[in-house]
Amino acid sequence: MTKRIINLVLPLCGIALAVIAWWAASRMVSDLPSPARTWEESKLYILEPLSKRGETDQGILLLAYYSLLRVARGFLLGIAMGTPIGFLLGVSRTLTRMFDPIMQVLRPISPLAWLPLGLVLFQKSEPAALFAIAVCSMWPTVINTMMGVRAIPQDYWNVAKVLRLSRVTTFTKIIVPATLPYMFTGYRLSLGIAWLVIVASEMLTGTPGVGGFLWQEYNSLVYAHILLAIITIGVVGFVLDRLMGMAETKLRTI
């Protein structure tokens, strides 16, 4: 019981300290809004989270919803590409050797670098953003799926051999179930990256969403809303990670 209270109180203390630090910083930097002013100016967005007053002047949940929708599409595209690639690389050492250098080079490229290429390729901002999200977020899925296939115990391969399972049956009944926990770890990491990429891509393309909002409010000098957007991005990212984490633990128990 006391442990529970401590578990609840300590994080609250941490938050309080962070807010105090924020407040102190706002005293020193004149352009940084204080916590109180941020709340005052953001109230409307938080208390009416779903209202739509204009193209970019919308409730925070609505903005987050646009971003989430975009992330979901980019992320799904990313794992739809990443999962099969991961399986192929996991099964074939030759393919791994062939593509490993390319992967290592592509992996650290920032979303800011992919986005202009996407714009060149697709001409429009929306598909370019999806392209950037997909290309940046697929790597953890590729790598974890590959590792998962490699980690399948020899016993299971022996079962496949001894039962003379066809390639398709081996894939659906052995490789996929055995790899599933690894795949989900990959998905979780990929989703985290997709959410990181969204802000950059919205900022560059100016599409409505949390990131677009952030950039627009910076340009119109409403600095309190920058902080609102930052906190929203953090909270949504945290919730997403927790949800994926829950799905992951569910799968692990199988």
Partner 1 sequence: MSFIKAEGISKSFQTAAGTRDVLRHVSLAIDRGEFVSIVGAMGSGKSTLLSLLSGLTQPDTGTVSVGGTVTRGVRNDSAVVFQNYSLLPWFTALENVRLAVEAACPELSKHEQRARATQTLERVGLSNALHKRPRQLSGGMRQRVAIARAFATRPEVLFLDEPFGALDALTRETLQQELARLCRDDDRQVTTVMITNSVEEAILLSDRIVPMIPGPLDYARGARGAPATLGTPIPVDLPRPRTTAQLAHDEQATQARAHVVAALTAALGKKRSNSAPQPDAAAAVLRPVAEEPR
Interface residue list for partner 1 (CB under 8 A): 155-156, 158-159, 161-166, 169, 173-174, 177-178, 254
Query: How near is the Cβ of 156 to partner 1 at its closest, in Å?
Result: 7
Of residues 242 and 252, the one with the C-beta less far from partner 1: 252
Of residues 109 and 174, the one with the C-beta less far from partner 1: 174
Q: Are 74 and 128 in contact (CB under 8 A)?
A: no
Q: Is 52 in a helix, a strand, or coil?
A: strand
Query: How near is the Cβ of 157 to partner 1 at its closest, in Å?
Result: 10
Of residues 221 and 254, the one with the C-beta less far from partner 1: 254
Query: How near is the Cβ of 41 to partner 1 at its closest, in Å?
Result: 53
Cα separation of 240 and 243, whole Å? 5
Of residues 102 and 162, the one with the C-beta less far from partner 1: 162
Q: Are 45 and 54 in contact (CB under 8 A)?
A: no
Q: Which amino acid is at 102?
A: I
Please provide the distance, in angstroms rounded to a whole number, between the alpha carbons at the two ends of the chain. 31
Query: How near is the Cβ of 164 to partner 1 at its closest, in Å?
Result: 6
| Closest by CA position to 141, among listed 187, 73, 109, 91 | 187
Cα separation of 60 and 117, whole Å? 30
Of residues 65 and 156, the one with the C-beta less far from partner 1: 156
Of residues 75 and 182, the one with the C-beta less far from partner 1: 182
Query: How near is the Cβ of 116 to partner 1 at its closest, in Å?
Result: 44
CA distance readout (Å), 180 to 37, 172, 188, 214, 253? 47, 11, 12, 37, 11
- Counting Cα atoms < 13 Å in the Cβ hemisphere of 163 gives 13
Query: How near is the Cβ of 162 to partner 1 at its closest, in Å?
Result: 4
Q: How far is CA 165 from the centre of its chain?
A: 37
Query: How near is the Cβ of 148 to partner 1 at its closest, in Å?
Result: 13
For residue 4, the surrounding DSSP H or E stretch is helix 2-28
Of residues 159 and 231, the one with the C-beta less far from partner 1: 159
Q: Residue 91 CB: number of other CB atoms within 10 A?
A: 16
